[in-house]
């Protein structure tokens, strides 16, 4: 199974600042995804990140707020811009390895104060 | 659009009890179906999956059968252990497999000794 590492694992951020989360996969993958999990809630897909093209965002999420990079087949970043307390969540990176086998990182737990 | 409905918890059982967590879905065609588990303080782990009607996914004593006629993918285990205490998420992925996952709200399972 793919091993997905995220950094940072936790952070406390000041409102108005931006934070970039890194996601590293231990093998090349075509599709990577970013999700948000608000406290006590389910996961919501933010965007799909494919190498060589712009990320595809889900309804309610925009590039200016959540810019994503995908420079190669093993790495992606998600930036949470101009943070507010409502952005306090777990942000999870996931990647597909093999048909319909999707793995998740441990998540990045962000608290905005 | 796609949606997943699962029983909300918490569900509290005694050790060695039989477990069923209900999951139904709404989607076009034949989506792929998944169960993920999230142990306290950890990320999501893929528990099992099924990609076509009547398929049975199984892992670690858990199993679920893809029922197209009832649009269901109920999770079962014959004898639960305290270590099974976690949050369980049912999820689907659209036909074609180019999208991310749509998750249910999660079911918190508590197993008492």
Q: Do B43 and A45 touch (CB under 8 A)?
A: no
pLDDT of residue A95: 94
In angstroms, what separates the C-alpha of B45 from chain A's closest C-alpha? 7
The residues, ordered by sequence, that sit 6+ positions from B62 with a Cβ below 8 Å of its Cβ are: B35, B47, B48, B75, B76, B77
pLDDT of residue A12: 97
- pLDDT (average), residues B63-87: 97
Residues of chain A found within 8 Å of residue B103, distances taken between Cβ atoms: 42-44
Q: Chain A residue closest to B108 (CA)?
A: A40
Average pLDDT of chain B, as a whole number: 93
Contact in structure between B35 and B29 (CB atoms under 8 Å): no
Calculate what percentage of chain A has a pLDDT beyond 70.
100
Given CB atoms, is A50 within the 8 Å cutoff of chain B?
Answer: no
B30 has a pLDDT exceeding 90: no
Range in A48-52, B81-85, B94-98 the model is least confident about: B94-98
Please tell me which of the candidates B51, B104, B105 has its beta carbon nearest to residue A100: B51
- pLDDT (average), residues B48-53: 94
What CA–CA distance (Å, rounded) separates B56 from B59? Answer: 10
Given CB atoms, is B51 within the 8 Å cutoff of chain A?
Answer: yes
- Which residue positions in chain A have pLDDT lower than 70? none
Given CB atoms, is B103 within the 8 Å cutoff of chain A?
Answer: yes
- pLDDT (average), residues B56-68: 97
pLDDT of residue A50: 84
The residues, ordered by sequence, that sit 6+ positions from A60 with a Cβ below 8 Å of its Cβ are: none
Residues of chain A found within 8 Å of residue B102, distances taken between Cβ atoms: 45
B110 has a pLDDT exceeding 70: yes
Calculate what percentage of chain B has a pLDDT beyond 90.
82
pLDDT of residue B97: 63
In angstroms, what separates the C-alpha of A67 from chain B's closest C-alpha? 18
């Amino acid at each position: 199974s793919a091993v997905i590492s995220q950094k940072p694992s936790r952070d406390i951020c000041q409102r108005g600042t931006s934070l970039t989360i890194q996601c590293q996969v231990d093998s090349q993958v075509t599709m990577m995804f970013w999700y948000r999990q608000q406290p006590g809630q389910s996961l919501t897909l933010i965007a799909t990140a494919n190498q060589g093209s712009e990320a595809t965002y889900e309804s309610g999420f925009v590039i200016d707020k959540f810019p994503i990079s995908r420079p190669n087949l093993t790495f992606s970043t998600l930036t949470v811009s101009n943070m507010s307390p409502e952005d306090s969540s777990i942000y999870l990176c996931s990647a597909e390895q093999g048909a319909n086998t999707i793995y998740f990182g441990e998540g990045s737990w962000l608290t905005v104060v | 659009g796609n949606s997943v409905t699962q029983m909300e918890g918490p569900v509290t059982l005694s050790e060695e009890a039989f477990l069923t967590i209900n999951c139904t879905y709404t989607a076009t065609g034949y989506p792929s179906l998944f169960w993920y588990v999230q142990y306290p303080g950890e990320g999501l782990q893929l528990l099992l999956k099924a990609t076509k009607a009547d398929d049975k996914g199984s892992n670690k004593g858990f199993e679920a059968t893809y029922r197209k006629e009832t649009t269901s993918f109920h999770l079962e285990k014959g004898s639960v252990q305290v270590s099974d205490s976690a949050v369980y998420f049912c999820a689907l992925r659209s036909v074609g497999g180019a999208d991310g996952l749509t998750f249910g709200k999660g079911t918190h399972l508590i197993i008492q000794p």
